[in-house]
A and B are shown apart, each in its own frame.
Chain A
Amino acid sequence: MSRDYLSTTRRGFLGATAALPALVATGAPGRAAVADDVPLEQYEPEFLTPAEWAFVMAATARIIPSEGDGPGALEARVPVFIDRQLAGDFGAAADLYMEGPFVPDAPEELGPQSPLTPAEIYRGAIAALDARLKAGGRPSFVERDAKAQDAFLTDLSEGRVRLEPELREFWDLLLQNTREGYFADPMYGGNAGMAAWKHIGFPGARGSYTEWVGRAEDYPLGPVSISGERG
C-alpha cells in the first residue's frame, strides 16, 4: 500500500469528523429521536460518504437479510449504528495503541497491527473493493444481485478476495459491527424497536431475574431498553 493512500484517508477522515463535531456523541437524545424517525434512504450519514453508505447498506443487508423470521439488518437500522460508530471513538481508535512501528502483515494471532483506524479501514477497503470490481469492468458491489453479493462476501470472508494487510481486518470489523448494530441497545442507532432482541427472546435491560432462575418455560415479558422503551 502506498503512503499516499494513508495520508489521503487520514486527511479525509479528519475532515469528515471535524465538520461534524456535535454529532460524534452517541446516544444524544435529540439527535437519536430525529435520526430514528427518518427512513434509512433519507438518513444523512455522519461519517460515511454516499458511496460508502450504499456499500454498507448493501453489505449488511446480505449479512443479515430481511427474509425469514426476525428483522434483517436494514429493518434493525444496522447501517445507522455503523455510521455512528465510525464517526465516534470506535472509528477513531480513540482507546487503541496506535504508535509505530507498524507491521500490518504480522501473523494474525498477534492481533491487529494496522496503522489505520477502523474508520480508515472501512474507507480504504470499500474503495479498494470497488476499484477492483471496476477495473475488471464488472458491476460494483451495490449493483449486483443478492446472489452475486453473497458470493462476493463469501469470497471476502474466506480470504479469496484479498485486501492489503493494512485493510485485512475489514471483513471482521464489518461482521462484528453488523452483529453489534443488530443486538446493541437501540440508543446506538441499531436494533430498532428491539426487534432483534424479540427475535431471540432476550429481555434486554430488565436486570432482575431471581424468580426466573432454573425455570424452563419461555420468559413472558418483552424487552426493555436502557432509555426505558418497551418492546
Chain B
Amino acid sequence: MARTERKRDVVIVGLGWTGAITGIELAKEGLDILALERGPDRATVPDFKYPQVIDELRFGERYGFMQRPKASTLTIRRTTDETALPYRRLGSFLPGDGVGGAGIHWNGQTWRPQTQEYRLRSYVEETFGADIIPEGMTIQDWGVTAEELEPYYDRFEYMAGISGQAGHVNGEIIEGGNPFEPSRSRDYPLPPLKQQKDSMLFAETAQAMGYHPFPRPAANASAPHVNEYGMQLGPCNYCGFCARYGCLNYSKAAPQTCVLDALKRYENFEYRVNSEVLRVDLAPDGQSATGVTYWDAETQEEVTQPADLVILAAYSIHNVHLMLLSGIGEPYDPATGQGTTGKNYSYQMNGGTTMFFKDRNFNPFASAGSSGMSINDFGIEQIDYAAEGFIGGSYMTCGHSNGQPIRGIALPEGTKGWGAEWKQGVGEWYGRSTGLGSHGSNMSYADCYLDLDPTYTDPHGRPLLRLTFDWKDNDIRMTQFMRRKIEEIVQAMEPDTWQSSYKGDGARYDVRPYQTTHNVGGAIMGTDPNTSSLNRYLQCWGQHNVFVMGASAFPQNIQYNPTGAVGALAYWAVEAIVNDYLPDPRPLV
C-alpha cells in the first residue's frame, strides 16, 4: 500500500531542537510546512507532569523517553576487522524519540566552542606545524568562524533562556565568567544558577590555585524568562530529575517550553507523529530532492510526501543513516578516504575523580541538570600540543546534576558492590561524595565512521546504520593530562579519600556504560565538496534543496556538550535559507 500526499513547500524530518527551530523560522515566512516525527507526541502536560515524571525506574533506568532499539538502532564495532553487532539495549548513548527529541531529556549544559575549534586543523598547522597531526587523524576546519556565528549563539541562548555569567563581552574580560570563551555581544539572559556546597568548595580551591572558576552555563532557568516567541520559562526548582526526564516545571529549555506552542499556532505549519521517514526521494538526475517517503504507523502504509525543500533534523546519526539510504553524497570509504557521507564520526572523551568527605553533606538531590562550577583553563586553546603530545582539550566541572539513588551512589574504592558492606556504604556515603570531571574533545580519524550494515535490518527491512569507532592514543593522552590536573585540585580540596576513572592505554570503546549522547560527524560541513558533505550553510553539496541540521555537521568533536553549537548552526542555516536560498533556490556556495 502506498499513498501520495499533496506537495508542501518544506518537509522537516524530526521534531527535536533543530526541527523546531527551523520549523518556526520557516513558518514565519508563510511557507507550507510539514514536520514528520517518528515517535509519539509529547507535551509538558501530561507527559512530564509531576509527580509521574520523576520516576527513576521508568525514565532513568528503562529509558521511557528514548529511542526503542526494537524500532530503531544501529550496529557497532571497534575496528574494520570486527563484525559489527547490534546495539540491542541502550547504554553508551541515548537518542531521543518523539516530539521534542533528545531536547526534552538533556541536562541543559549549553556552551559555545572556543574560537580555534572551528578552524582546528588550520590552528594546529599554523601554531604547532602539520607534523604533530598523527597519521590517520582527519580533523578539518568547519568553514565558519566564531565571529560569524556569534549572533546565532546569542539568539539561541536568549531563545532558550540560558543562565550563566559571561566572561568575555565585546572584547572585555569579565571577572567571574569564563575568560577563555570567544567574545560575545552581551551577557547571558539569566543570572547563574545557585550552587551547591561541593561546587563552591571547588571554586574556592581552584581560584586559590590561580584558575578561573565560573558557573556552568545552564538551560535550567534561574529566573522567569520570556523568549522571542513569547514562550515563558519559570524558575528551576532544582528538582534533581533533569537529564533523562522532561521538565515538570517549564524551566528546562526544550522544544516544548521554548518553541512548540508558538509554532503550533501557525496555520501553515503541520506536524505528524508516528511517521518515520524512510528515505529522501531524489529527482532522476540526482541533483535535487523531490520530497521524502515515510511510514505512516497509523494506516500502516508508505507515504510519498513531495516537497520543494527537505530539512533533515533527525539527530546526527539518523541524518547520516537517511543520507546513506537515499544516496545523498558518496559513502565514505575508509580504505581510500574517498566519499564523505559517514565520514569523521566522533564522540566525547570524558573522565572523572570522585571525592569522599566523611563530615560533609552535599544533599545531591537538590540540584539542576547543569548546576556546577567549571574551569576552562585547560581548554583547546590553553594547551601546548607540541609539548604535551596530543591535540585537544577539556573543561572541568564539580557538582551534582542529580541525587537519584539507583544509578548514582559512589562508594570508596574497594567497597564491595553488594552485601553488608554495600548496604552500609550507601547509607554512609550518599550525599558525602562529589565528582570533579573533565568533559573533553574527541578528534576524528580515518577509520571512525558510519556506513550501512551488511547483515542487520530494521523493522522496515532497511539496513541498520553501522558505527565503527574506538578510542585513540591522542585522546587517551588528553584525558590522562586532564587526570593529572584534576588530581592536583582534588588533593587541594582535601577529601578523606578519592578515586579516579579515566581511559588509559589500550582502552577500548565499550557500548554498555552511559558516556554521552554527543555523537557527532558523519555529514560534516566544510569548504570543499571533496572532503565535506555540506557547505558552510549546512546545505548538501550535491542536492541544493536538502539541508542537514545537527551535530552530524561537526568535523570532529568539540570539548563541550554540543547543543549550543547545534542550535546556533540551525539559526545560521535557516537565516541563509530565508534570506538567500528562498528568493533564488540554488547552491549557496
- Give the interface of A toward B (CB within 8 A): 62-65, 67-70, 72, 89-90, 94-99, 101, 103, 106, 108-113, 150, 153, 157, 175, 178-180, 183-185, 188, 196-197, 199-203, 205, 207-210, 212-219, 224, 226, 228
CA distance A180 to B58 in the complex (A): 11
CB distance from B533 to the nearest CB of A (A): 27
Give the residue name and chain of the A residue nearest to B417 (CB).
Answer: A175
Neighbouring B residues of A205 by C-beta, 8 Å: 51, 54-55
Give the residue name and chain of the B residue nearest to A219 (CB).
Answer: B363
CB distance from B199 to the nearest CB of A (A): 8
Which A-B residue pairs are the 10 nearest by beta carbons? Answer: A209-B366, A200-B430, A184-B57, A97-B69, A109-B510, A183-B405, A212-B366, A208-B237, A213-B194, A207-B239
CA distance A213 to B247 in the complex (A): 18
Is the pair A95, B63 in contact by a Cβ cutoff of 8 Å?
yes
Neighbouring A residues of B200 by C-beta, 8 Å: 214
CB distance from A156 to the nearest CB of B (A): 11
Q: Is the interface of B mostly helix, strand, loop or mixed?
A: loop
Q: With A108-B512, A209-B240, A213-B371 as known contacts, state yes or no: A183 contacts B88, CB within 8 Å.
A: no
Q: For chains A and B in complex, what number of residue pairs have CB atoms within 8 angstroms?
A: 178
Q: With A185-B57, A213-B367 as known contacts, state yes or no: A180 contacts B197, CB within 8 Å.
A: no
Q: Which residue of B68, B83, B426 is within 8 Å of A103 (Cβ)? A: B83
CA distance A28 to B427 in the complex (A): 31
Q: With A99-B86, A111-B512 as known contacts, state yes or no: A65 contacts B423, CB within 8 Å.
A: yes
Neighbouring B residues of A96 by C-beta, 8 Å: 69-70, 88-89
Neighbouring A residues of B235 by C-beta, 8 Å: 210
Q: Is the interface of A mostly helix, strand, loop or mixed?
A: loop
Give the residue name and chain of the A residue nearest to B426 (CB).
Answer: A200
Give 22 A-B contacts (CB < 8 Å), ordered by A residue: A64-B423, A68-B423, A69-B427, A95-B63, A99-B86, A110-B85, A110-B511, A113-B85, A113-B86, A199-B427, A200-B409, A200-B427, A207-B239, A207-B240, A210-B237, A214-B195, A214-B196, A215-B197, A216-B362, A218-B361, A226-B54, A226-B55
Tell me which of A175, A203, A205, A215 has the highest count of chain B C-beta atoms within 10 A of its own C-beta. Answer: A205
Q: With A70-B423, A111-B511, A112-B88 as known contacts, state yes or no: A209 contacts B456, CB within 8 Å.
A: no
Q: Does B111 lie at the interface of the complex (its beta carbon under 8 Å from any beta carbon of A)?
A: no
**Chain B stretch 50-92: residues in CB contact (< 8 A) with chain A:** 50-52, 54-57, 61-63, 68-70, 73, 76-78, 83, 85-89, 91
Q: With A109-B508, A184-B406 as known contacts, state yes or no: A209 contacts B365, CB within 8 Å.
A: yes
Is the pair A95, B68 in contact by a Cβ cutoff of 8 Å?
yes
Is the pair A209, B239 in contact by a Cβ cutoff of 8 Å?
yes
Neighbouring B residues of A207 by C-beta, 8 Å: 50-51, 54, 237, 239-241, 248
CB distance from A51 to the nearest CB of B (A): 22
Give the residue name and chain of the B residue nearest to A62 (CB).
Answer: B419
Neighbouring A residues of B424 by C-beta, 8 Å: 68-70
Neighbouring B residues of A106 by C-beta, 8 Å: 85
CA distance A183 to B427 in the complex (A): 12
